[in-house]
Structure 1
Amino acid sequence: MAMRTPAFDAAVIEPHRIFLQELLEEGRLCESGKFNDGSGGAYVIFAESLEAARALVSRDPVHLTGSSELTVYEWEITVSP
């Protein structure tokens, strides 16, 4: 999850989208979207481990600029099509 901080700068949105597009092209991004209340968003990635997921999202421009606080949860998919 990426929750906006008081330091949020809208200029980071496009670099963030490019980052997500790169993850998609690498086959690492499953889903992404923003919260309707404008507080942030979430994305689901494929990673080998929790540590690998944290390393991957640490490159996100919203994190690097301090615009959002990222929280990574390990999620086990139990039902999918």
Structure 2
Amino acid sequence: MRKYLVMAMRTPAFVDSVIEPHRDFLAKLLADGALFESGKFTDGSGGAYVIFAENLTAATELVQQDPLHLTGSSELTVYEWEITVSA
């Protein structure tokens, strides 16, 4: 399993009603062992989360199920993340 960084940047179509379904999506990923961490940016522009997946294709397919993506509220970009230093 590899780690993938998901950048979720709000679009002009963002609506507050997507926040709770997005949180539910993340909670399911956490329960399934696929979510490492998540959080929002303090400037209100979006947030990021780190998931575990077998490959970039699997990570992208998983992220495309996020309500942020499905509603067009945020643009989600997935990066394979090779951690070189960690606490």
Question: Shorter-chain-normalised TM-score: which range?
Answer: over 0.9
Matched residue, 2:4 = none
Q: Equivalent of 2:32, from 26, 33, 47?
A: 26
Give the structure, 1 or 2, with the largest relative contact order (CA under 8 Å, sep 6 or more).
Answer: 2
What's the TM-score once normalised by structure 2's chain length? 0.90
What's the TM-score once normalised by structure 1's chain length? 0.96
Identity among equivalent pairs (%): 77
Post-superposition offset of 1:67: 0.3
Post-superposition offset of 1:76: 1.1
Runs of 4+ in 1 over 3 A off after TM superposition: none
Aligned ranges for residues 28-67 of structure 1 at < 5 Å? 28-67=34-73
Aligned pair count reads 81
Structure 1 unaligned regions, length at least 5: none
> Root-mean-square deviation (CA), in Å?
0.9
Q: Equivalent of 1:73, from 49, 61, 79?
A: 79
